[in-house]
């Protein structure tokens, strides 16, 4: 289910780019604390960079979640890695890591999609104006979700109390 949600949200972000064609030729890409734009970018460059960023992030999350990357203690930094990278537990560690990466990626794409929608909304006004209450609400939800995800990550990779010595 998480894998489907991850790819669906990635696809939605790419579909949002079609809405980006409605943006003016010069797109506000940074806003001051008053919500007024203070940096601009060519629309085509912006849309291409957004698509490349989303695709790069999707590739990173999907590659990590695929279970095909080697989990060695040299390159993998998970809590209690000595316990979880034991050959008898590595498959369970891969399964947990895969689920968590798909969840984290889905959260990232929800946030990016929300940002893009806020950008479209900002450009619906002349001159463009970012809705700061909505932006800070979206940011707070994302940061809260990220904190929750980090806590889940650490809890998932706690070894059982009976096997701490292993």
Q: What is the pLDDT of residue 129?
A: 94
* Terminal Cα-to-Cα distance of the chain (whole angstroms): 33
Rounded CA gap, 50 and 46, in Å? Answer: 6
Q: DSSP character for 49?
A: H
| Beta strands per DSSP E along 13-143 | 26-31, 37-42
Q: What is the pLDDT of residues 117-149, one digit of tens each?
A: 999 999 998 899 999 999 999 999 999 999 999
Residues in a beta bridge with 41:
27
Cα angle vertex 10, ends 122, 132, to 5°? 25
């Amino acid at each position: 289910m998480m894998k489907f949600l991850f790819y669906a949200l990635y696809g939605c972000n790419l579909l949002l780019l079609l809405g980006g064609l409605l943006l003016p030729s010069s797109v506000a890409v940074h806003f001051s604390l008053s919500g007024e734009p203070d940096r601009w970018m060519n629309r085509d460059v912006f849309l291409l960079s957004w698509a490349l960023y989303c695709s790069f992030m999707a590739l990173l999350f999907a590659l990590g979640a695929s279970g095909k990357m080697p989990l060695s203690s040299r390159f993998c930094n998970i809590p209690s890695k000595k316990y979880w990278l034991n050959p008898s537990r590595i498959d369970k560690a891969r399964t947990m890591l895969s689920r968590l990466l798909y969840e984290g990626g889905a959260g990232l794409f929800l946030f990016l999609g929300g940002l893009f929608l806020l950008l479209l909304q900002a450009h619906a006004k002349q001159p463009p104006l970012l809705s700061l209450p909505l932006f800070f609400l979206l940011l707070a939800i994302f940061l809260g979700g990220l904190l929750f995800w980090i806590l889940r990550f650490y809890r998932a990779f706690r070894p059982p109390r009976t096997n701490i010595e292993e």
